[in-house]
Amino acid sequence: MRVGLITPEPGHPLLAAASALLTAAGHPVEALDPRTGSAPPRCVADVYLLKSRTPRALALARELEERGAVVVNSAAATERCQDRTAMAEIALRAGLPFAATRTVGGLGRWASGHPLTAPVVVKSRHSRRGDLVARVDDAAQLRALAARWPDEPVVVQDFAPNSGWDHKVWAVGDRVFAALRRSELSPGGRGPTRSLGPDELPPGWAALVRAAGKAYGLEVYGVDLIDAGGSPLIVDVNAFPGIRDQAGAPEALAGLVLRRAPGRDAAPAAG
């Protein structure tokens, strides 16, 4: 079988390691750069891995899907995780413990008419590299943030008191990997990451992550959780994250690719 990578960075550690495993097993891997490439006249790969979330990458993946290609994650599932309003709505329908999220439009306009009475987390509505994610504790901070991002469409979440450490949990098919990382919203800013063994996650959290993957139709994904008073709270979901420095992740990805080849039994959680 042949494998395609939809990415401008085929040398990313996870992709490079999984590609080496697949190539060694006799499965050629070819990168398709969404910045410059277009869909081939026919699907030359059996399975494509979508490791990019730009509009051009999504359009390319969608075109390949229309031609009958298997794309992991699907363009639709990837897109669901880019709009934080839709992300929250999907979680609510699925009964997932997701941070209460309200969409307020442009940050400047909202800030000018909103008296801040409690800490909030302000995020860009549309998830992307370099987007806005900030904790705001008072009106002065809100005005300063709005001055830097006046026209940014945002969502607002009430700040949930927590330890200041995020549980970063990633899934590749049924395999779950995890780490602890000091939150970028903590007073000290983003800090080091410490890998966790599967048995170091609180009971039920791995099942919760898999339920999130099913709700969004994802096969390779990340879920950010915080411990809010002893209960898990999902604060973000990402399609095809980097999953760096996680032993076994490249093997899990290579295995998923082989299972998703046409004619195999495995199928995505949703379209």
| Model confidence, pTM | 0.90
For residue 68, the model assigns a pLDDT of 87
Would you give per-residue pLDDT tens digits along the chain (271 residues)?
Answer: 999 999 999 999 999 999 999 999 999 999 999 988 666 656 678 999 999 999 999 999 999 998 889 999 999 999 999 999 999 999 999 999 999 999 999 999 999 987 888 899 999 999 988 899 999 999 999 999 999 999 999 999 989 888 778 899 999 999 999 999 887 776 655 656 788 987 899 999 999 999 999 999 999 999 999 998 889 999 999 999 999 889 999 999 999 999 998 866 444 444 4
What single letter denotes the amino acid at residue 34?
P
The H-assigned helical ranges of the chain are 13-24, 55-66, 75-80, 84-94, 107-112, 139-148, 205-216, 249-259
**235, 101 in Cβ contact below 8 A?**
no
**Residues whose CB is less than 8 angstroms from the CB of residue 169 and which lie 6 or more positions away in sequence, other chains included:** 176, 177, 178, 201, 205, 206, 209, 222, 223, 224, 225
- pLDDT at residue 268 in the model: 41
- The confidence score (pLDDT) of residue 187 equals 62
**What is the pLDDT, as a whole number, of residue 191?**
57
Q: Return the amino acid letter for 206.
A: A
Long-range pairs for 23-29 at CB < 8 Å and ≥24 separation? Answer: 25/254, 27/1, 27/2, 27/3, 27/257, 27/258, 28/2, 28/3, 29/2, 29/3, 29/4, 29/5
Q: Please tell me the predicted confidence (pLDDT) of residue 76.
A: 96
Cα 248 off chain centre by: 19
pLDDT value of residue 128: 87
C-alpha distances (whole Å) from 248 to each of 172, 197, 198, 252, 254 are 10, 12, 12, 6, 10
Q: For residue 89, which amino acid is it?
A: E
